[in-house]
């Protein structure tokens, strides 16, 4: 039997229950002795209270009561004197104490959130991330024989596609092809071949408002608006006056968690880069054709006040220049102190500055088209200087030879694929291709089936734009490659069918060569 609770008994005693509830309670009381006892105790308690709490002051008291009230109203006196405010006693109330605690908690949480928000690096856009990854893939260290070797390992997806390194570097793909196949690197020491290589690397030359020649990479065109139309016809490039396409990269930690001082230096460096990015593309990212004999002011836009703070914090400022083997400034080179994860990007005159704790550190410089240079530098005193010389990347064959000599019929497929035929495409199509390249590089860096699917879709879009024009075979190989690795990383029936279709579409168009042979092997794997 479920007994009546106190609330019901209390309300029943006060005759405050609804009719139905009251009848039910009465019926229960008639049967339940325990509840009857409870109810009786409740009634007894209530009966005892009034005489205990009641007091009759007598009629005399009430005779003059109204008059006393009136006097009190007229006088405005408050007999119930309030005590003076005591801040400590204010917290005697549990409610006030809880309120104060809640306010304090909110303040602490807001403070922590503010601190965390201020120390969190800004979020990059996905395209910026992709571009950054492409640059990392395309760095000279990973684009050589090592990158190609990784491609052929049976452990999984390649670090980069067989063509990707060369394409993204802007190099004739014969370089990576040669490296991949293990063929000896042909000599390119002759000055003529080197100049031809530099000319091939200069992509396209435009003229800015000052009439200066400025090389433009496809990636630059994709990311930034076309510069204003030249005021006068562009003169032919001076012989041997090749300029280097700069690599737009953010400073990347090379390993280990940076110290707060290093983070500070990195943050200021990215501020400087951001300010640099805000300038027009022609001013920001393109190398000056005239090498600056003296270093530019260190890190334009950087506040001297913060530099002083760094020095006060025990950091040594290293300023220097990045130059090529002929002494010309290399703009956009990525200079890093690898063991500390501190980095900077060289300016238009090849100059850079970075702050690091005192001691011996290995400073490396990387730039598009150059081998990575490393130099042990002692950070001592308040300032240190260094000049980093970059050697150009060697190629299998001089581009001029590739252009002049018609490829042998047996190697047609390879040669056609090796050259970056996408450069000949209109800007709008090249932007689509560039996106496909970025997605491919992204998938190669972090291989998942979905990433390769996305890359394949981008290559399909590119193919739709290219049609039967130049670069079709190259795009088909990329599409087949993306479809194959999507299936290899995450095999499904759908991916297998798509891979077979793409690989077959390439094979029916490709001539004999290494890439065709590779596709044949892939197709065989998918089918079996």
Partner 1 sequence: MPRRKTDIEPAEDETALVLRARRGDSVAFGEIVRRYQRAVYRVAYGYTRNTADADDLAQETFVNAYRAISRFRISEPMFPWLARIATNLAFSLHRRRKRRPESSIEPLLEAGKQWGVDDDPARHAENRERESHLAEAFGELSSEHQAVLLLRVMEGLTYDEIARALGVPAGTVMSRLARARTDLRARLAKRTGESK
- Which residues lie near partner 1 (CB under 8 A)? 5-7, 9-11, 14, 16, 41-42, 45-46, 48-55, 57, 61-62, 65-70, 72-73, 78-80, 83, 89, 92-93
Q: Residues in the chain, how many?
A: 528
The dihedrals phi and psi of 356, each to the nearest 5 degrees, come to -150, 160
Residue entry with tokens 């229950």: 17
> What whole-number distance in Å separates Cα of residue 251 and Cα of residue 446?
20
Please state, in angstroms and rounded to a whole number, the distance separating the CA atoms of residues 315 and 29: 87
At what angle are helices 427-445 and 449-466 packed, to 10 degrees?
160
Sign of the Cα torsion 324, 329, 333, 339 reads positive
Nearest distance from residue 56's CB to partner 1, in Å?
A: 8
The distance of closest approach from Cβ of residue 36 to partner 1 in the complex, given in angstroms and rounded to an integer, is: 16
For residues 236, 240, 245, 246, the Cα torsion angle rounded to the nearest 10 degrees is: -130
Q: At residue 233, what are phi and psi to the nearest 5 degrees?
A: -60, 145
Angle at CA of residue 250, ends 248 and 251, nearest 5°: 130
d(CA 288, CA 215): 10
- Nearest distance from C-beta of residue 61 to partner 1, angstroms: 8
Tell me how far apart the alpha carbons of residues 188 and 27 are, in angstroms, rounded to a whole number.
110
d(CA 125, CA 142): 24
Contact 267, 303 (CB under 8 A): no
**Beta carbon nearer to partner 1, 21 or 128:** 21
Intra-chain end-to-end CA distance of the chain, in Å: 75
Residue 527 CA neighbour count, 13 Å, CB half: 11
Least distance from C-beta 18 to partner 1, angstroms? 11
Residue with smaller CB distance to partner 1, 65 or 211: 65
- Whole-number minimum distance, CB 26 to partner 1, in Å? 17
- C-beta of 69: minimal distance to partner 1 in Å? 4
Give which of 480, 484, 486, 490 is closest to 460, Cα–Cα.
480
Residue 89 or 279: which CB sits closer to partner 1? Answer: 89
Helices then strands, counting H and E runs in the chain, come out as 24, 9
Report, in Å, the least distance between residue 49 CB and partner 1: 5
Minimum separation from the CB atom of position 35 to partner 1 (A): 14
């Amino acid at each position: 039997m479920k007994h009546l609770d106190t609330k019901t008994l209390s309300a029943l005693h006060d005759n405050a229950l609804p009719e139905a509830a009251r009848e039910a309670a009465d019926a229960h009381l008639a049967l339940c002795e325990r509840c009857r006892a409870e109810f009786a105790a409740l009634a007894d308690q209530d009966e005892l209270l009034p005489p205990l709490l009641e007091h009759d002051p007598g009629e005399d008291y009430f005779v003059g009561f109204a008059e006393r009230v009136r006097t009190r109203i007229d006088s405005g006196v408050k007999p119930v004197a309030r005590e003076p405010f005591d801040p400590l006693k204010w917290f005697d109330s549990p409610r006030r104490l809880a309120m104060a605690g809640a306010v304090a908690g909110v303040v602490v949480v807001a403070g922590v959130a503010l601190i965390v928000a201020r120390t969190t690096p800004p979020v990059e856009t996905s395209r910026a991330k992709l571009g950054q990854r492409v640059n990392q893939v395309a760095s000279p260290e990973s684009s050589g024989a090592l990158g190609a070797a990784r491609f052929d390992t049976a452990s999984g997806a390649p670090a980069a596609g067989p063509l990707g390194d060369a394409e993204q570097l802007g190099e004739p793909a014969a370089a990576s092809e040669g490296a991949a196949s293990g063929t000896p690197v042909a000599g390119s020491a002759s000055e003529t071949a080197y100049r031809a290589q530099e000319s091939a690397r200069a992509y396209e030359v435009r003229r800015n408002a000052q009439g200066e020649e400025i090389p433009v990479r496809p990636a630059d065109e994709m990311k930034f608006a076309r510069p204003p139309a030249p005021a006068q016809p562009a003169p032919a490039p001076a012989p041997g006056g090749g300029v280097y396409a700069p690599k737009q990269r953010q400073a990347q930690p090379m390993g280990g968690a940076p110290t707060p001082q290093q983070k500070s230096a990195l943050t200021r460096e990215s501020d400087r880069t951001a300010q640099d990015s805000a300038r027009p593309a022609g001013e920001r990212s393109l190398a000056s054709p005239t090498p600056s004999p003296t270093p530019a002011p260190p890190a334009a836009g950087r506040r001297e006040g913060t530099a002083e703070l760094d020095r006060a914090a025990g950091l040594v400022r290293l300023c220097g220049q990045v130059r090529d083997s002929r002494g010309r400034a290399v703009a956009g080179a990525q200079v890093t102190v690898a063991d500390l994860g501190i980095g900077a990007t060289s300016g238009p005159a090849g100059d850079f500055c970075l702050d690091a704790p005192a001691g011996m550190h290995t400073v490396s410089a990387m730039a598009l088209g150059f081998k990575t240079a490393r130099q042990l530098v002692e950070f001592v005193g308040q300032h240190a200087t260094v000049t980093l010389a970059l050697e150009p990347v060697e190629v299998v064959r001089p581009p001029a030879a590739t252009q002049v000599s018609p490829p042998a019929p047996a190697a047609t497929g390879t040669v056609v694929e090796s050259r970056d035929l996408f450069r000949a495409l209109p800007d709008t199509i090249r932007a689509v291709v560039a996106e496909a390249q970025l997605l491919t590089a992204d998938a190669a860096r972090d291989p998942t089936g979905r990433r390769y699917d996305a890359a394949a879709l981008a290559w399909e879009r590119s193919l739709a734009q290219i049609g039967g024009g130049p670069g079709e075979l190259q795009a088909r190989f990329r599409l087949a490659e993306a479809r194959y690795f999507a299936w290899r990383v995450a095999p499904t029936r759908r991916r297998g069918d798509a891979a077979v279709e793409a690989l077959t579409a390439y094979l029916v168009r490709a001539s004999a060569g290494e890439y065709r042979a590779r596709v044949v092997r892939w197709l065989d794997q998918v089918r079996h």
